[in-house]
Structure 1
Amino acid sequence: MTVPADGPAPEPLSRVRTGPAGAPLAPRLAAVLRTLDTAGFGHLLSEGVLTGVRALDSVKALMVGTALPVRISCPDSGPVHLAVDRVRPGDVLVVDCGDDDRYASVGSVIAAMLELRGAAGVVVNGAVTDTARLRAGRLPVFSRAVSPLTTRITGAPGSVNLPLTVAGSRIAPGDIVLGDADGVLVMTPVTAAALAPRVAASAAAEPGYLARFRDGAPLSAMTGADRAAAPTAASTPASGSSSDSPYDHAVGPPAVPPTASGHATTAPEGSRS
């Protein structure tokens, strides 16, 4: 953690805008989400991924929680310190550093404090530091970069618990943040609850598809991809034939109710790779 250096006193932190916390994650939904992976949701969504953000330690990368968004103006980290005091059990601190990868806004001390407050994890769209100690800790840590340079308190503008666009995706307080070895996804609680049953069903079906493929069933027939091939007399399927893939684009995605935070409202067509 950075402490103020000798010199002129920093400006007041009143330039940091704050908002109310989002609703906590429902325990039943949290339990379901912990059994699923980001790729399962990624096959049904076209947005929500934090591009370029990766787990610092893929072994302990499983993260499920609610977003506490923070925006800083590097090299200032005042909003991060304010946000740490607002963290509730199950929150994921999501720090947006803009385009800056030089200054690390989270290190081992901040991570330890987040652990003490019961945070579910921390995501930094920027750099972290103290990586050996972060890996030794229990808190899931995700970042875009690593740096020995650290932030400090300068009184620059920022925000805590206000909606942000982070790494190409919109994040609002209380949104669901999922993280694992494949990256980080953000979605509204309504979207997560609507898609979770389909993600779980498709994951349960995967062993059966592998078994059928070993027995000689064509992958394209199982997923319906064969219907996209140019029809010929030999390849045109019989009338009424269809695949039984849970990802069959002919069946279509489940409807996801619109939400105020503006995330994806439908799951796009596609098949699991």
Structure 2
Amino acid sequence: MFVINEMPAQIDAGLVELLERVEVATIGHVLHSGFVDPALRAVLPNKRVAGTAVTLRIPNADSALLHYLTAHVRPGDIVLIDRCGDTRHACWGGVITNAMKLAGVKAGVVDGPATDFSEIAKVDMPMWCRGPSPITTKILGLEGAMNVPVSVGGQVVKPGDAVLCDESGVIVLAPGEARAIAERAIKMQEDEIVLLERLRKGEKLPDISGATALVEGKRQH
């Protein structure tokens, strides 16, 4: 049986642009939740993309619903796939990569393996997964769910969430909270530029960060 829900509303283009100025690791200084398991790693280096979460839950070796989704995705979407614990079968390969790229999909995030990494590089499709596998899914037509809440890397993802991916990992944000978080992170990144300039001029990091005062204030004599 297949559960098919409508495609979610896409997040504002201005918010996407703002998020793509943010490093995921900077948000890690602000938040402790929302992050996908870091075992889901970028296939391609030096990519940072943000977009709207489109979700799939496809158990076992059946990728019929993923093929179906390629006719419905839109430019700006990021496809996140709950594989229900299957770490053996690669649901995402060269054909899916090309179909998603042609549809304008920003990235794929699979809680499981993928395959055809050379094709992913050739097409330049940003991709996060648990590594490669040569064993692929099949078009079985058994079951699955599209645009439902899913679990990807231990993180609940709802269709329409804001997603930001880069070399450090993947974070999922509620659309209503994403702008404030992005603005705070960008301010931190700007402050870091000032900090690095102070270091280059000879100041010491613990003096700037306050670590010197904290440690020496509790130093045993």
2:90 to 94, 104, 127: 104
Deviation of 1:111 after TM superposition, in Å, equals: 1.0
More RCO (CA 8 Å, sep 6+): 2
Q: What whole-Å deviation, never above 9, does each CA across 1:122-147 have from its counterpart, x for those lacking one?
A: 11111111111111112211111211
Instruction: Give the total of aligned pairs.
Output: 219
2:74 pairs with 1:88: yes
Structure with the greater alpha carbon radius of gyration? 1
Say whether the 8 Å CA contact 1:38–1:182 is kept in structure 2.
Answer: yes
* CA 142–233 in structure 1, closer or farther in 2 if over 3 Å, else same: closer
Specify the alignment match of 1:152 in structure 2.
138
The SS at the match of 1:17 is strand
Secondary structure of the corresponding residue to residue 131 of structure 2: strand
- Output the TM-score relative to the length of structure 1: 0.74
Offset, 1:102: 1.3
Return closer, same or farther for 1:138/1:232 CA change in 2, 3 Å cut-off: closer
Structure 2 CA distance, aligned partners of 1:216 and 1:180? 32
CA apart distance, 1:210: 1.8
Distance of 1:145 and 1:23 partners within structure 2: 30
Q: Kindly provide the CA deviation profile for residues 18-69 of structure 1, in whole angstroms up to 9, marking residues without a partner as x.
A: 223222121111111122211111211111222111111114x222111101
1:62 to 37, 48, 71: 48
Secondary structure of the structure 1 residue equivalent to 2:148: coil
Q: In structure 1, what is the equivalent of residue 179 of structure 2?
A: 193
How large is the Cα RMSD of the aligned pairs? Answer: 2.0
Per the normalisation by structure 2, the TM-score is 0.91
Tell me how far 1:233 sits from its aligned partner. 9.9
Deviates more, 1:212-221 or 1:81-90: 212-221
For 2:109, the equivalent position in structure 1 comes to 123
CA distance in 2, matches of 1:115, 1:198: 32
CA contact (8 A) 1:101 1:146 kept: no
- Equivalent residue in structure 2 for 1:29, among 5, 12, 15: 15
Paired AA for residue 175 in structure 2: P
Task: Report the Cα offset of residue 223 of structure 1.
Answer: 2.7
Partner deviation per Cα, 1:77-124 (whole Å, 9 max, x = no partner): 122122222211100111111222211101111111111111111111
Once residues 186 and 200 of structure 1 are traced to their aligned partners in structure 2, the CA distance between those partners, rounded to angstroms, is 17
Report Cα offsets for 1:153-206 as digits up to 9, x if no partner: 223332110011211111000111111111211111122101111111111121
The 1-side partners of 2:27 and 2:7 are apart by: 25
- In percent, how many aligned pairs have the same letter? 33
2:91 paired with 1:141: no
Q: Where does structure 1 lack aligned partners over 5 or more consecutive residues?
A: 1-14, 235-273
Higher helix share: 2
Q: Residue 182 of structure 2 aligns to a residue in which SS?
A: helix
Shift of residue 209, structure 1, vs aligned partner? 0.9
2:27 to 31, 41, 63: 41
